[in-house]
Chain A
Amino acid sequence: MSESITSVADNILNVENIRKDFPILTQTVRGKPLIYLDNAATTHKPNSVIERVRKFDAEEYGTVRRGAYKLSEKATQLYEESRQKVADFMGAEKKSEIVFTSGTTQAINLVANSFGKRFVNAGDEIIISNIEHHANTVPWQVLCEERGAKLKVIPVNDAGELMIEEYEKLLSSKTRMVAINQVSNALGTINPVKKITEKAHAVGAKVLVDGAQSIPHMKVDVQDIDCDFYTFSGHKMYAPSGIGGVYGKMGLWEELPPYVTGGDMIMQVTLEKTTYAKPPARFEAGTPPITQVIGLGAAIDYLNEIGLDKIADYENTLLEYGTRLFNDIEGVRIIGNAQHKASIISFYIEAAHPHDVVTLLDQDGISCRGGHHCAQPTMIRYGVPATTRASMAFYNKPEELDALAESVKKCIRFFSV
């Protein structure tokens, strides 16, 4: 390993200190130190999140929004404080613009259903891209089928970048919604969501930005992007699983009908008719994942303490280093070489199928994902059945990428004999 990369990385943040915050990283796998490189799938939790969740469950847990007693009042207050943290973290104007869901998948389903019911009719058009996660593809396909609308797809170039001039041609007065990720989970491409939003608004369309892969890795400001919806998942930003959400502009939320109905989302219920609560309660039927919301708040505190700018800088250093290492390995093809990329390296080895690659990497203690990454249209576009993906977080070290590169070389030799 080159000394210079370590010193460059060290100047940004002290990774050894950071790693002390994540107890899971100290374990061994099959006798080797764990090298965890599947952060685009899910991330690990720092002690502060683990401890906050423990303390909440042990001392403060209660139902929210309905109990007129101390435990419930305190839990409700903490729950709403977390909503405020989320709003501040992504630059929302008001905390009531944040609706909690189980994660990005449910968030996009919520918007597709509620927005679709209210605003999408036969002959209308929805635009997505060729590099979306299935969670930002299937809900729109289903909606289009149900409403007789048409799904249009922005193509990508060989590097994995959206072809903006083609996107402009797809836009028209029929476009109701443009749903696009800020970072592609399969390739790592960072998409120009601000520009995309501006062009969509020019024809009167709304924009949903899927931020599942971006919010843990870069500073997000929804008001600057000016998107109408922004979705995210807690478990990809060092919080527990089962919690995520969607930001929406209040004016738009107010116009939308509920998606899931039941308790807590009503104004008044008689046997003849129900009137709905105001947002965000209208979209949060039933008892929410209370503990997970508290954990999400703690994760945001942790990220703020380190600073998203530092995190982005550090991960970018890892990406550049890893890309250099991979470009030097014969027989490896990186899928996705966009100019603006988040810390994801997706690669294909002629000699071995990605599932065999990840099994052999695991022999060396390395956790990578092998598969289509819930992005089959992306795999089809690049002519591969699947890829192996190394996705980095700020707790990864340059040495771990050296180990990955060595393990990949070993795997190629093993399958080439």
Chain B
Amino acid sequence: MSYDNELYQQVILDHNRKPRNFHIIENASHNCHGVNPLCGDDITVYLNVDEQAGKIDEVSFQGSGCAISKASTSLMTVFLKGKLVEDARKVKDEFHKMILGEMDPEKEEHHLGKLTLFMGIREYPSRTKCASLAWHTLVGALDKKFDGISTE
């Protein structure tokens, strides 16, 4: 009964069932609401950023959506904790290139760590936005986009 695909790996299914950092941070220094209007994925990302050190101290999220969007956001929060803002933005770009198939993490240098789990998305162009919503929303939070962001 298994499926022959790289998309729904065990780790992704696990983060979908038990999303990590799945709560609101009260009085967060940054937050942003992100939606995929075409499919209805809807998340809010919360951050506490140490402005002086340029470091992400705390990160969490809330929301609803498909397994890919939920797992992607959950894994992003785990990845980001303690990272420099500058590095987070770099990884966002690498992540994006990977899921669009523009960068092959098996052949090129990268800083994605565990996030290469989402490499399989490149075979499913209609699901790219499910995986990237978390990262667009992160950047929206860092850039203080108070109106929220949309992938369309």
Contacts and interface: CB of A to CB of B under 8 A. Distances in A.
Interface of A: 352-356, 359-360, 363, 370-372, 379, 385-386, 410, 413-415, 417
Taking each of A356, A371, A386, A415, which has the highest tally of chain B beta carbons within 10 Å of its own beta carbon?
A356
A414 B8 CA distance: 10
Contacts, number: 44
A363 B39 contact: no
B3 A363 contact: yes
B75 interface: no
Contacts of A363: 3-5
A353 B40 CA distance: 11
Nearest to B3: A363
Nearest to B36: A355
24 contacts: A352-B67, A353-B66, A354-B66, A355-B39, A355-B66, A355-B68, A355-B127, A356-B8, A356-B68, A359-B124, A359-B127, A363-B3, A370-B39, A371-B38, A371-B39, A372-B39, A385-B40, A385-B42, A385-B64, A385-B65, A386-B40, A414-B1, A414-B3, A415-B13
A20 B7 CA distance: 35
B40 A415 contact: no
B40 A372 contact: yes
A355 B2 CA distance: 18
B130 interface: yes
Contacts of A379: 40
B70 to A, nearest CB: 8
Contact of A371 (B13, B40, B124): B40
Taking each of B38, B40, B130, which has the highest tally of chain A beta carbons within 10 Å of its own beta carbon?
B40
Contacts of A370: 39
Interface in B31-49: 38-40, 42
A394 B1 CA distance: 30
Interface string B1-22: 1111101100001000000000
A359 B7 contact: yes
A56 B82 CA distance: 65
Nearest to B67: A356
Interface of B: 1-5, 7-8, 13, 38-40, 42, 64-68, 124, 127, 130
B39 A410 contact: no
Given A363-B4, A415-B13, 9 more contacts: A352-B67, A356-B68, A371-B39, A372-B39, A385-B64, A386-B40, A410-B1, A414-B2, A414-B3
A360 B65 contact: no
The 10 nearest A-B residue pairs measured at CB: A353-B66, A355-B66, A356-B67, A385-B40, A363-B3, A356-B66, A410-B1, A386-B40, A355-B39, A371-B39
Taking each of B3, B4, B127, which has the highest tally of chain A beta carbons within 10 Å of its own beta carbon?
B3
B127 A353 contact: no
Contacts of A385: 40, 42, 64-65
A413 B40 contact: no
A168 B58 CA distance: 56
Nearest to A379: B40
A379 B64 CA distance: 15
Given A363-B3, A414-B8, A386 B39 contact: yes
Nearest to A357: B66
Contacts of B8: 356, 360, 414
Contact of A413 (B1, B65, B66): B1
Given A359-B127, A372-B40, A414-B8, A353 B1 contact: no
A359 B3 CA distance: 11
A417 B2 CA distance: 12
